[in-house]
């Protein structure tokens, strides 16, 4: 057990039963020319989350924490894409259309892939998800059960959309979520702030909020396996 200072109160991290879950750090969302920009968003708002995520990912790998990545996207034949999602927004360019980085949000296309700075390594599952939540229509439920995961350290984009949906899904499945504020981001800073407040409000209605430095420090601290024994007098 390692204590991570967090809101609304300290998070007791169990590294053997925890995983780092990095949501949708894909070129389509965080690089100019992708889906995020195609639907009118300012992708520069997301890029501040990359340096702290690089540091957190390195610390997680070094400490042996289980790491998983997700990617939002669809099969090339669009058979897993609801028509309601395809047409939402009435944009000129939508999912499946040819974009500057290949077909938008299509598995196997350059824009759909994870940014090079955070690229998965061997042993880190990459979960392709057709929805906003990482549990909907994916293998994540089985992965979590198979690895005995009870806690998720949740990072990625965007805070109020795929991160929030995933945290809510996890919470309803009895999994504790710690959201890292500097490792998540939104195209709308005010939504980012409010989404984080919503997680920790009402005594932690959806989970806890902390930051990368606090988790890195906890991962590097000696693990407390039992209460300290007072010295004999
Ligand atoms: N990954 C994720 O959040 N997908 C989105 O579409 N987010 C937006 O904020 N649009």
Comparison of pLDDT for 222 and 103, the residue scoring more: 103
Q: Does the residue 206 lie in any domain?
A: no
Q: What's this model's pTM, rounded to 2 decimal places?
A: 0.95
24, 43, 155: which to mutate for ligand 1, most atoms within 8 A of CB? Answer: 24
For ligand 1, atom 10, name the residue with the nearest CA. Answer: 36
In a domain, 102, yes or no: yes
φ, ψ for residue 118, nearest 5 deg: -125, 25
pLDDT, tens only, 185-195: 999 999 999 99
Residue in the block written with tokens 């990482």? 134
- Nearest-CA residue for ligand 1 atom 2 is 162
Is 30 domain-assigned? yes
Bigger pLDDT: 186 vs 93: 186
Task: Determine phi and psi for 119, rounding to 5 degrees.
Answer: -65, 135
Mutation to probe ligand 1, out of 30, 31, 36, 160 (largest number of atoms < 8 A from CB): 36
Q: What is the count of structural domains for the chain?
A: 1
Does residue 229 belong to any structural domain of this protein? no
Which pLDDT value is given to residue 231?
54
Query: What is the rounded distance in angstroms from the CA atom of residue 115 to the CA atom of residue 185?
Result: 15
195 lines ligand 1 (CB under 6 A): no
Query: Ligand 1 centroid to 157 CA: how many Å?
Result: 7
Identify the pLDDT of residue 230: 58
Structural domain boundaries enclosing 135: 4-8+25-184+212-220
Ligand 1 pocket check for 158: Cβ under 6 Å: yes
Cis peptide before 89 (omega within 30 of 0): no
pLDDT band at 40 (very low <50, low <70, confident <90, very high): confident
Q: Does the Cβ of 176 fall within 6 Å of ligand 1?
A: no
pLDDT of residue 34: 83
Question: Which of 51-55, 160-164, 172-176, 217-221 has the least mean pLDDT?
Answer: 217-221
Tokens of 64: 């042996």
H helices of the chain, in order, are 27-30, 35-38, 50-63, 83-87, 140-146, 164-172, 189-204, 212-220
The pLDDT score that the predictor gives to residue 226 is 56
From the CA of 140, how far away is ligand 1's center (Å)? 19
CATH of the domain at 66: 3.40.50.850
The pLDDT > 70 percentage for the chain reads: 95
In this predicted structure, the answer to whether residue 52 has a pLDDT above a threshold of 90 is yes
């Amino acid at each position: 057990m390692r204590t991570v200072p967090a809101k609304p109160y300290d998070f007791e991290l169990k590294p053997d039963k925890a995983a780092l879950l990095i949501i949708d750090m894909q070129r389509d969302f965080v690089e100019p020319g992708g889906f995020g920009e195609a639907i009118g968003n300012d992708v520069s708002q997301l890029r501040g989350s990359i340096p702290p995520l690089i540091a957190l990912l390195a610390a997680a790998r070094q400490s042996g924490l289980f790491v998983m990545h997700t990617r939002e996207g669809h099969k090339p034949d669009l058979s897993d894409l609801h028509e309601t999602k395809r047409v939402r927004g009435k944009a000129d360019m939508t999912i499946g259309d040819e974009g500057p980085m290949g077909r938008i949000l299509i598995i196997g296309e350059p824009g759909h892939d994870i940014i090079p700075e955070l690229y998965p390594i061997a042993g880190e599952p990459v979960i392709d998800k057709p929805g906003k939540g990482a549990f909907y229509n994916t293998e994540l439920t089985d992965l979590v059960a198979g690895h005995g995961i009870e806690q998720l350290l949740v990072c990625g984009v965007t805070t109020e959309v795929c991160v929030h949906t995933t945290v809510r899904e996890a919470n309803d499945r009895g999994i504790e979520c710690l959201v890292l504020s500097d490792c998540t981001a939104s195209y709308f800073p005010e939504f980012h702030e409010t989404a984080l407040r919503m997680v920790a409000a009402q005594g932690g209605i959806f989970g806890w909020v902390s930051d990368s430095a606090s988790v890195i420090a906890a991962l590097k601290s000696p693990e407390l396996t039992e209460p300290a024994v007072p010295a004999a007098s």
